[in-house]
């Protein structure tokens, strides 16, 4: 369809009443007004009001005028209008769409359609704005004036700034490891209720280190004009565990908190470096620019390294070049490492998603398709993952299978695939590791955010279908350089967490030979060794593995599991049965399927007969607007979603005994509380690990550290992938890459 060259008259114009800046997650009532252009809008023609798919603006509804997110519309000439919302009704990334169709009438040039988002005139509290910050939030408006379903853009929509709200919590980060007298840095920040770093009113805290720290002031002020405070040049005086407690200097000003634990040793062979290798910016389907993405990772999330993984079918040649210039410029050995790369986004039938990491810039991008790219280099595409393997073979590349929208089919394998991603903001995917192990692969474990909200390394799910806090990978390397981290990735010397900076060491005393690669791929280097760390492949004739495990949690530890493949062979707990109290934990978990429909709604209730719930404490309830409620009758109700991981509620009971009844959509079950002990009672609910678990816990847990030596039996005819899984009281997890004990 050709429009006369009178733009913007031909397609119309748009205004809105939003202020220049709005608070993230705030409720607003605003009007977006479309004024018809030269063609007007014919009967059954329509306009689309679109916003980015990553945005978690409240889902518009048109039927309940007193409920949140109510949207109404009116035509200035009285034409009847029909409204419809679809989260995927336009070309990505502008998928979320309200379509306003004209019916029983038409619009002439100058007639208007006023769409009121969060219409409060009949009692609605308004519509919730997106829960994360953005320097240029905007709507994209399209018009179909001739009712052909061929929509044309309407320009000139004013962008606004989404800013953080007031601080509600504070946090501070230390490096994973250090040495006496070597300088290190402390990063402290405040966050609003949605996890956005924020300045707000300054709060002064007294600092209480667990061991002497040279250069540490007595107090620190967080807030004011800065979203983070960084103290450089600190040093520890002696080996040991170091954490720093923060106490507000006056009552009611902030809340006490503490850092993660930094382990200080004299001469460590390797140190842990925290990073997030998987996220996107607005150049593809995410939020903010790639420059803002890396700055957030370094300056606000306190990461040591990061990667940018945009969907390949949205990466133009120009952006690919700019992204590589950016990673080269921001890469600063010793301070921050940036990896170039992209997400190969092939359909699952053709292999499924893989993150592609490069050691160096200047590499050719091989897209899965040109679905949203018009560049004339289609001959470089690799539509099947086996074509990608062939194109990248011999180049400095690593591939990481993961599950996001599409999921990886790990039956397609190449030696460039050293690890799998078992957790991201999309959920927890332990089944992906199980699939790789079932295929005989030797896979390490990484966890990343796969974030679209511009917050790599601190990726809260907000109020969208992202059901989890984004993960982190800790790489064990001798120094913070791209080359050192790359070598550690190749050797699987790393572990992943659900976002908590849990310090985890797994070592084994062995009498064997370390294999630097899989001998099935060709000749490999063999080295006689007496010890191994996570990720190593050891050929040994021993009947058991002497494992040493050290954990420093960020919250009290619930248990530490020693696993052989997908099987738990030993469970370590910092408490015994005699210490169990009147705390009941009810946990639900799992995913419905492997693909996009994996989300499970566990909205439900808990009632206890023969006892009474006095107080509750939730875990993995990330949405501040969807917290569980304890009723006056002692019952508990909640709204909760899992996408592979767990969530749940601790209930402190008035006395002993009783019977709990849990009612959810997937499952209704009952549990006699007298029958509960240390071990969790699990009721399966189908799907991928869908289940409800019941367990008793001590009334209070305080132990955050665990050191143990464990003997693990080995088989003699195949690999034994020996790994460690850490479970904290607050729901956070950590997984070590396995030590692969192989037959001689």
- Residues 658-666 have a mean pLDDT of 97
DSSP 145: T
How far apart (Å, rounded) are the C-alpha atoms in residues 527 and 513?
5
- According to the model, what pLDDT value does residue 517 have? 79
- According to the model, what pLDDT value does residue 404 have? 87
- Residues 109-130 have a mean pLDDT of 98
For 429-488, the DSSP string reads -HHHHHHHHHTT---EEEE---BSSS-TTS---TTSS--SPPPEEEEEESSSSHHHHHHH
CATH of 169-267, one of 3.40.50.720, 2.60.40.10, 3.30.2090.10, 2.60.40.1180: 2.60.40.10
**CA torsion angle for 285, 290, 296, 302 (degrees, to 10)?**
110
- According to the model, what pLDDT value does residue 464 have? 72
* pLDDT confidence band for 1 (50 / 70 / 90): very low
Share of the chain above pLDDT 70, in %: 98
- Residues 675-702 have a mean pLDDT of 97
Token pair of 187, please? 């990063």
* pLDDT confidence band for 6 (50 / 70 / 90): very low
* pLDDT confidence band for 519 (50 / 70 / 90): confident
CA distances in angstroms from 527 to 515, 536, 716, listed in the order given:
7, 11, 20
More confident residue, 251 or 348: 348
- Residues 553-579 have a mean pLDDT of 97
CATH class for the domain made up of 272-499: alpha beta
* pLDDT confidence band for 419 (50 / 70 / 90): very high
CB atoms within 10 A of CB 616: 18
* pLDDT confidence band for 7 (50 / 70 / 90): low
Preceding amide of 42 cis, omega within 30: no
- Residues 575-587 have a mean pLDDT of 97
- According to the model, what pLDDT value does residue 365 have? 98
Q: Is the pLDDT of residue 635 over 50?
A: yes
Q: Is the pLDDT of residue 270 over 90?
A: yes
More confident residue, 224 or 195: 195
Q: Which residues, listed in sequence order, are joined to residue 148 by a DSSP beta bridge?
A: none
| Residue ranges of the chain that CATH labels 2.60.40.680 | 13-163
Q: Indicate the average pLDDT of the chain.
A: 95
Burial environment of residue 4 by CB neighbours within 10 A (0 to 12, 13 to 18, 19 or more): exposed
| Residue ranges of the chain that CATH labels 2.60.40.10 | 169-267, 503-574+703-744
- According to the model, what pLDDT value does residue 563 have? 97
- Residues in the chain, overall count: 744
- Residues 563-577 have a mean pLDDT of 96
Using one digit for the tens of pLDDT, what is the confidence trace for 288-305?
999 999 999 999 999 999
How far apart (Å, rounded) are the C-alpha atoms in residues 489 and 396?
12
CATH architecture of 13-163: Sandwich (2.60)
CATH architecture of 580-697: Sandwich (2.60)
How far apart (Å, rounded) are the C-alpha atoms in residues 232 and 230?
6
- According to the model, what pLDDT value does residue 647 have? 97
* pLDDT confidence band for 8 (50 / 70 / 90): low
* pLDDT confidence band for 467 (50 / 70 / 90): confident
- Residues 442-463 have a mean pLDDT of 96
- Residues 622-648 have a mean pLDDT of 96
* pLDDT confidence band for 5 (50 / 70 / 90): very low
Cβ pair 574, 703 in contact under 8 A: yes
Model confidence, pTM: 0.96
How far apart (Å, rounded) are the C-alpha atoms in residues 533 and 444?
12
Token pair of 574, please? 């910092």
Share of the chain above pLDDT 90, in %: 92
* Domain topology for 503-574+703-744: Immunoglobulin-like (2.60.40)
Nearest Cα residue to 494 out of 472, 475, 516, 471 = 475
Can you tell me whether residue 65 is helix, strand or coil? coil
Q: Is the pLDDT of residue 650 over 70?
A: yes
Using one digit for the tens of pLDDT, what is the confidence trace for 330-343?
999 999 999 999 99
For 344-389, the DSSP string reads E---GGGT--EEEEESSS-PPP--S--TT---S-GGG---SHHHHH
- According to the model, what pLDDT value does residue 678 have? 95
């Amino acid at each position: 369809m050709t429009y006369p060259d009178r733009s913007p008259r031909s397609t119309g114009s748009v205004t809105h009443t939003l202020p220049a800046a709005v608070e993230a997650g705030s409720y607003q009532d605003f009007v977006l007004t479309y004024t018809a252009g030269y063609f007007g809008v014919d009967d059954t023609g329509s306009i689309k009001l679109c916003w980015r798919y990553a945005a978690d603006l409240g889902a518009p509804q048109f039927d309940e005028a007193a409920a949140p997110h109510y949207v109404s519309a009116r035509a200035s000439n009285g034409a009847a209008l029909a409204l419809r919302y679809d989260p995927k009704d336009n070309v990505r990334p502008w998928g979320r769409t309200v379509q306003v169709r004209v019916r029983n009438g038409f619009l002439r040039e100058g007639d208007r359609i006023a769409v009121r988002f969060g219409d409060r005139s009949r009692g609605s509290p308004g519509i919730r704005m997106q829960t994360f910050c953005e320097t240029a939030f905007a709507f994209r408006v399209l018009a179909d004036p001739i009712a052909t379903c061929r929509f044309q853009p309407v320009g000139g929509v004013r962008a606004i700034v989404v800013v953080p709200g007031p601080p509600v919590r504070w946090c501070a980060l230390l490096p994973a490891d250090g040495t006496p007298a070597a300088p290190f840095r402390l990063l402290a920040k405040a966050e609003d209720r949605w996890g956005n770093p924020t300045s707000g009113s300054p709060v002064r805290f007294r600092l209480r280190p667990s061991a002497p720290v040279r250069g540490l002031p007595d107090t620190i002020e967080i807030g004011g004009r800065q979203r983070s405070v960084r103290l450089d040049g600190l040093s520890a005086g002696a080996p040991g565990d170091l954490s720093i407690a923060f106490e507000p200097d006056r009552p009611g000003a902030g809340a006490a908190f503490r850092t993660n634990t930094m382990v200080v040793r004299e001469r460590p062979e390797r140190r842990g470096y925290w990073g997030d290798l998987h996220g996107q910016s607005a150049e593809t389907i995410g939020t903010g620019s790639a420059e803002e993405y890396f700055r957030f990772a370094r300056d606000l999330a306190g990461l040591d390294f990061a990667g940018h993984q945009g969907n390949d079918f949205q990466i133009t040649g120009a952006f690919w070049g700019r992204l590589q210039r950016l990673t080269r410029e921001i890469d600063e050995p010793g301070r921050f490492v940036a990896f170039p790369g992209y997400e190969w986004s092939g359909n699952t039938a053709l292999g499924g998603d893989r993150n592609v990491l490069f050691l160096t810039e200047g590499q050719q991008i091989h897209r899965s398709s040109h679905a949203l790219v018009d560049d004339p280099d289609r001959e470089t595409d690799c539509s099947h993952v086996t074509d990608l393997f062939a194109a990248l073979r011999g180049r400095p590349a690593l591939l990481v299978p993961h599950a996001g929208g599409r999921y990886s089919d790990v039956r397609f394998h190449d030696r460039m695939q050293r690890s799998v991603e078992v957790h991201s903001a999309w959920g927890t995917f332990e089944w992906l590791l199980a699939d790789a192990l079932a295929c005989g692969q030797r896979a390490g474990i990484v966890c990343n955010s796969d974030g679209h909200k511009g917050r790599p390394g601190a990726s809260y799910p907000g109020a969208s279908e992202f059901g989890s806090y984004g993960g982190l990978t800790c790489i064990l390397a001798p120094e913070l350089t791209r080359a050192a981290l790359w070598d550690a990735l190749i050797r699987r010397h790393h572990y992943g967490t659900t976002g908590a900076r849990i310090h985890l060491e797994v070592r084994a005393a062995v009498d064997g030979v370390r294999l630097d690669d899989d001998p099935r791929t060709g000749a490999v280097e063999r080295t006689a060794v007496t010890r191994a760390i996570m990720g190593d492949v050891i050929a040994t004739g021993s009947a058991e593995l002497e494992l040493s495990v050290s954990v420093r949690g960020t919250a009290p530890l619930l248990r530490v599991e020693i696993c052989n493949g997908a099987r738990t062979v030993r469970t370590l707990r910092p408490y015994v049965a005699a210490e169990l109290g009147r705390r009941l934990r009810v946990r639900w978990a799992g995913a419905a399927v492997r693909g996009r429909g994996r989300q499970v709604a566990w909205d439900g209730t808990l009632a206890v007969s023969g006892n009474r719930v006095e107080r509750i404490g939730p875990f993995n309830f990330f949405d501040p607007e969807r917290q569980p409620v304890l009723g006056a009758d002692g019952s508990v109700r909640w709204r909760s979603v899992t996408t592979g991981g767990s969530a749940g509620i601790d209930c402190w009971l008035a006395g002993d005994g009783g019977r709990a009844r849990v009612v959810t959509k997937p499952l209704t079950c009952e549990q006699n509380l007298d029958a509960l002990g240390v071990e969790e009672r699990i009721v399966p609910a189908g799907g991928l690990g869908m289940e409800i678990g019941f367990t008793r816990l001590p009334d209070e847990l305080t132990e955050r550290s665990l050191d143990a030596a464990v003997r693990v039996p080995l088989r003699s005819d195949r690999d034994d992938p020996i790994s460690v899984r850490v479970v904290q009281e607050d729901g956070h997890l950590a997984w070590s890459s396995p030590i692969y004990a192989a037959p001689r």
